Amino acid sequence: RMLWNLKVFEMRCCSTPLIVGDLAIASSGSGGGGNHLVAVRIPKQEGELPEEVYRIDRGAPYVPTPVLRGNRLFMVDDKGIASCVVAETGDVIWSKRVGGNYSASPVVIGDHLLLINLDGEATILEAGDDYKELAKFSLGGPVGATPAVVDGYLLLRVGERLVCLSIK
């Protein structure tokens, strides 16, 4: 049975929702723009109503799912704008164009943020309150899927190849 619902989306949803404390965070949009990311306070008990806490309309992703590190939400929109926001409030700490088009979600590896665009260009940023680009390099082919990180390895699909990289 449905426990609660709240109409907050005007377009399609592709990314995966996140739960951050008592917030459900998800995005909606289209390939043509108008994307938005919305945080909804989850009701604590039956009969309580959900509440929209914040909405981000600039730099919001449509396909890539944001990633959480501490209380910071890191995201990249489909057109290459990376952002860091306070997860509980939606306050933008920084936002910067990294370039390229994205469908892969960002991943956090330790204190680094990995972004990979559709052309297979990887950007490594510091996963912190200051925008700091640490490296940029090509993976040698297109990347559309989010990589998996496990036990010091990065597993990703590059074109028609499955690639495993050591990240130690």
pLDDT along the chain (168 residues), means of 10: 87 89 93 88 92 94 95 95 97 96 96 97 97 96 96 95 92
d(CA 29, CA 17): 14
Write out the two tokens for 120: 């297979």
| Predicted local distance difference test score (pLDDT) of residue 41 | 97
Q: What is the pLDDT of residue 10?
A: 84
Query: pLDDT at position 19, please?
Result: 96
DSSP letter (8 states) at residue 12? B
Q: Is-above-0.85 flag for pTM?
A: yes
pLDDT at 125: 98
118 and 105 in contact (C-beta within 8 Å)? Answer: no
State the CB neighbour count (10 A cutoff) for residue 19.
11
The pLDDT of residue 17: 93
Is there a contact between 54 and 86 (Cβ–Cβ < 8 Å)? no
pLDDT of residue 6: 85
Sign (positive or negative) of CA dihedral 59, 64, 86, 52: positive
Please state, in angstroms and rounded to a whole number, the distance separating the CA atoms of residues 110 and 43: 32
